[in-house]
Structure 1
């Protein structure tokens, strides 16, 4: 059950809504209008590792520039 971000076209209020079905009507919690639009939102993901250690690659001579440090 995803949470979507919406904006009310009547009062401009932005809010989040938990949607159980795509058929559900989304109503603005501020003014009660059903004239809303879904906003584009960024997603978040949990990562178990911190990722690559880019400092370890410094001065190794690899990459686009070639050459060695």
Structure 2
């Protein structure tokens, strides 16, 4: 059962909801309105070996627009 992020078009409240049935409208917990929109969520992933080597990037043009 996925957790989705929503925004209420009536009051602007952003909230998360565990969704059992995509066909049923999701109500805003703040105002109770069912005029909600699903938001695009960021995802994350774990990569073996950790993140980028920041020391190796220092002094390089990586991420600086090439200058």
TM-score between both structures, scaled by the size of structure 1 = 0.66
Q: What is the count of residue pairs matched by the alignment?
A: 58
Q: Structure 2 regions of 5+ residues with no counterpart?
A: 57-67
For residues 51 and 16 of structure 1, the distance between their equivalents in structure 2, rounded to whole angstroms, comes to 28
Q: 1:55 to 1:21 in 2, by over 3 A?
A: same
How large is the Cα RMSD of the aligned pairs? 2.3
Which residue of the partner structure matches residue 28 of structure 1?
A: 28
Partner of 1:17: 17
Question: Is 1:41 paired with 2:3?
Answer: no
- The equivalent residue for 1:62 is none
Describe the SS at the equivalent of 1:16: strand
Instruction: Find the structure with the greater CA-based Rg.
Output: 1
The 2-side partners of 1:11 and 1:32 are apart by: 10
* SS of residue in 2 equivalent to 1:5: strand
Q: CA deviation at 1:50?
A: 2.0
* Structure 1: runs of 5+ lacking an equivalent: 57-69
